[in-house]
């Protein structure tokens, strides 16, 4: 179970917690893929992502490792129906979440 703070992010906003963790998603809205960028993690940190629709149905989940510095992940959203989705990331026990639009 994650502890810490919950932050909401948008295409042109970047949120940072008290431990200097940050997450950014672009472009928003998107038709093909979204780019996820985060920093402020330790080497080999476990980063867990989940994507749900607004009804709470899980449409994707994945994990990756972070490194000290800036990290990038590109997610293909081309097969998702047009809708608003919630993306959540648990980074070092801090939950960061927000929405993106698939057009």
Global pTM value: 0.75
Of 82, 93, 35, 38, nearest to 59 by C-alpha is 82
- Architecture per CATH, domain 6-102, reads as Sandwich (2.60)
Q: Which two tokens stand for residue 99?
A: 């929405």
pLDDT digits (tens, 9 = 90+) for 37-92: 887 777 888 889 999 999 999 999 999 888 888 888 899 999 999 999 998 988 87
What are the extents of the domains in the chain?
A: 6-102
CA distance 18 to 4: 9
The enclosing H or E element of 21 equals none
CA distance 23 to 21: 7
Strand partners, 83: 102
**How close are the terminal C-alpha atoms of the chain, in Å?**
32
N residues, the chain: 103
Span 97-102, mean pLDDT?
A: 88
Q: Which two tokens stand for residue 89?
A: 């990331």
């Amino acid at each position: 179970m994650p502890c810490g703070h919950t932050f909401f992010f948008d295409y042109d906003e970047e949120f940072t917690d008290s431990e200097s963790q940050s997450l950014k998603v672009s472009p928003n809205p998107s038709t093909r893929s979204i780019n996820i960028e985060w920093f402020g993690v330790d080497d080999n940190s476990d980063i867990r992502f989940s994507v749900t629709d607004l009804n709470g149905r899980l449409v994707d989940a994945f994990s990756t490792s972070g490194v000290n510095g800036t990290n990038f992940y590109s997610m293909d959203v081309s097969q998702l129906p047009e809708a608003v989705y919630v993306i959540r990331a648990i980074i070092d026990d801090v939950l960061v979440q927000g929405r993106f639009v698939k057009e």
